[in-house]
Amino acid sequence: MKFLQIHVFYEQYLQIFYQNNPQLKTASYAQQIQALIGDGFSAGHIYAPYMGEFGYETELIIANNPYSQKQWAIEQGSLALAQGFLDIVCQQIETFKPDILHVGHPMPPFDSQLLNRLSWQPKLVTGWRAAPISKTTDWSRYDVILSSSTPCREQALQLGAKATEVFFPGIPSFIADAVEHQPQHWDVVFSGQWSQLHGKRNQYLQAIAKAPLGFGGEFSIGYFLSANPQTLPAGVSMHNQGSRWGLEMYRALKSGKIIINGAIDMAKGEGPNMRLFEATATGSFLLTESQYNLGQFFEIGKEIDVFTTQDEAIEKIYYYLKNPDKREAIARRGQERCLRDYSMQRRANALETIIQKYLKLSSKTASTQPLHPHPQNSPQTPLKQDNLSQAFQDSLTKIIESPHNPENYRTLAAILQQQGKSESALRAYNQALACESNSPQSQAKSDGSLQPKPAQ
C-alpha cells in the first residue's frame, strides 16, 4: 500500500527557509523534503514520515515549493517545468500511484479539481481542514474530511464530502529536543497572527501589553506577530519582535516563562487550536483562553491553566511569575502529557484507524475506478484562446477592484496555467495563499462563512 501526502506551506516561510539555506535550492528532492520536515514548519500536520510504521510506502509533496518541485522534475528527466504547477503535482501522483491520498490543504485547486485531472484514482482520498473555507470549494471527490472544528465538518458535508471525522493534529518529539536549551528571555510571549478574525485575542494581547504600566509591577513581553505593522496598536507594536516560522517559532515560544494562547473568534469556545500542542511541547507554561472542551486534552490547573477575562489573564500572569515552582511544575506535566498522548506516532495511528474504517466501507478500487469526466462548465474545462484573453483581462479587473480576495488570484492562476505560464501561475497561487492567511477581513467578505484556523 502507498500513502501520499500533499501539503502547502506559507510562501513567506519558504522564502525565509531557502534564504537561510541557499545550498538546498539545488539539493536532491529527498534532501529538500527531509530538511523541510526537520525544520518543523506545520510539523503537527505532516503524517507521511510516520505512516511507514503501518506498512505503507510513503511520499510527501510540498505542492507550492518551486525548488523541490523543480528538482523532482529534473530527477524525472521531465520537461514538467514547462507545464503549470498543478500539472507537476498530477504527474507526481500518476508516477507514485498512491492507494491513499491525504491532502493537508484541500482548497482549490487541490479540491476535486485535482482529482478530476487524474487517470489514476486512489482507493481513498482524505483531507484536513480547520480554517476558512471558500464557497467555491468542491469536495465531492473526497471520501473523508478531517477537522477539529464542528462548523468546518458541517460545511464539508455541504460542499460534497462523503463523510467527516473528528480529528486533531499532534506534535513530533524532536521539537522538544530542539528547544530544550533555549533560554527564557521573556516573562510573557505570544506567537501567532494578529488579524480581524482574532478580535477577542487581540484585546487580550492589548490588555497584557498595558499591564506592566499599572500598579501590579513590570514584566517583559515578547510578541512574535504575523501582521501588517500598520494594523498594530502602538502598545502592541512596541513588543512585537516579528513573525517566526518553523523551529524559530518553537524557540520563540520556549523563550517565554508564560505562553499566552487565545482562539479565533469563530471557534465559539471550542478547542483545540494548534498552539495548545505547540506550546506545551516546548516545556514552557501555557496560560490559555478557556474553552469548554480543553479538559479533554489537558488537566486544567495541573498541566495548563486558563483564563476567561482580561483581568483574570493579568492576575494569573502576576501569580505565576511570583510562583515559579508552581509554574514550572505545571509546564513540566503539560509537556509530559503532550509528548505522551499527542505524539505524531499516536496521531498517525488515529489516522490509520480512520483510513482502515473507510477502506472497508468503500467499494472503490484504484484499478477499476473510472475517471470522472469534467463537467461541461467546470473550471477544469480548457477555454478557447479568445476566451482566455478575455478571461485574463476580467481577472485583472477583479484583482484591481478587490486586491485582497484570494479567489481572484486563484482564477488568474488557472488562466495562466492554461496559457502555459507556469511561473506566473505559481506566483498567482502563492498570492492567493498570502491573501488567505494575511488578509482575513477580505477573506471574510469573500467566504461569508468562516471556520476556525489553527494558529501557526
The CATH number linked to 121 is: 3.40.50
Domain interval for residue 100: 2-170+344-361
- Residue 266 sits in the same domain as residue 126: no
CA distance 37 to 324: 34
Return the amino acid letter for 55: G
**HSE, side-chain direction, 13 A CA sphere, residue 308:** 5
Which residue intervals of 186-342 are DSSP H helices?
A: 199-210, 234-237, 247-254, 274-282, 310-322, 324-341
Q: Extract the C-alpha cell encoding 326.
A: 508552581
Distances from the Cα of 263 to the Cα of 267, 287, 307, 377, angstroms: 6, 12, 12, 39
Answer yes or no: is 377 within a domain: no
Q: What is residue 114's predicted lDDT score, i.e. its pLDDT? A: 96
∠38-43-49 over CA atoms, to 5°? Answer: 70
Answer yes or no: is 456 within a domain: no
Report whether 451 contacts 164 (CB < 8 A). no
Q: What is residue 2's predicted lDDT score, i.e. its pLDDT? A: 98
- Residue 242 sits in the same domain as residue 294: yes
**HSE, side-chain direction, 13 A CA sphere, residue 46:** 21
Answer yes or no: is 375 within a domain: no
Q: DSSP state, 297?
A: T
Answer yes or no: is 453 within a domain: no
Describe the crossing of helices 29-38 and 66-75 by its angle, rounded to 10 degrees: 150
CA distance 62 to 384: 31
- Residue 194 sits in the same domain as residue 70: no
For the chain, the C-alpha Rg in angstroms (whole number) is 22
pTM of the model: 0.80
- Residues in the chain where the model's pLDDT stays below 50: 80, 364-381, 439-456
- Residue 329 sits in the same domain as residue 238: yes
How far does Cα 28 stand from its chain's mean position?
25
- Residue 256 sits in the same domain as residue 121: no
The CATH number that applies at residue 407 is 1.25.40
- Residue 153 sits in the same domain as residue 95: yes
Q: What is residue 423's predicted lDDT score, i.e. its pLDDT? A: 60
- Residue 165 sits in the same domain as residue 221: no
Q: Extract the runs of DSSP E, i.e. beta strands, from 256-311.
A: 256-261, 285-289, 305-307
Q: Extract the C-alpha cell encoding 129.
A: 481542514
Answer yes or no: is 227 within a domain: yes
Q: Which three-class secondary structure state does DSSP give residue 146?
A: strand
**Which among 311, 341, 371 is the end of a domain?**
341
Q: Extract the C-alpha cell encoding 167.
A: 480529528
Q: What is residue 434's predicted lDDT score, i.e. its pLDDT? A: 65
- Residue 155 sits in the same domain as residue 232: no
Phi, psi of 290 (to 5 degrees): -70, 140
CA distance 427 to 433: 10
- Residue 139 sits in the same domain as residue 207: no
Distances from the Cα of 292 to the Cα of 51, 130, 238, 285, 296, angstroms: 32, 18, 33, 20, 9
Answer yes or no: is 194 within a domain: yes
Q: What is residue 401's predicted lDDT score, i.e. its pLDDT? A: 64
**Which among 361, 393, 415 is the end of a domain?**
361
Q: What is residue 451's predicted lDDT score, i.e. its pLDDT? A: 36
Q: DSSP state, 300?
A: B
CA distance 171 to 347: 9
- Residue 337 sits in the same domain as residue 200: yes
Evaluate the omega torsion of the peptide bond into residue 272 and state whether it is cis, within 30 degrees of 0.
yes
The residues, ordered by sequence, that sit 6+ positions from 96 with a Cβ below 8 Å of its Cβ are 2, 4, 59
Dihedral sign computed on CA atoms, order 26, 2, 429, 380? positive
Answer yes or no: is 143 within a domain: yes
Q: DSSP state, 124?
A: E
- Residue 186 sits in the same domain as residue 119: no
- Residue 20 sits in the same domain as residue 138: yes
* H/E segment holding residue 410: helix 406-418
The CATH number that applies at residue 182 is 3.40.50.2000
How many domains would you assign to the chain?
3
**Which among 287, 309, 341 is the end of a domain?**
341
Q: DSSP state, 227?
A: S
Answer yes or no: is 407 within a domain: yes
CA distance 88 to 110: 13
* H/E segment holding residue 115: helix 112-116
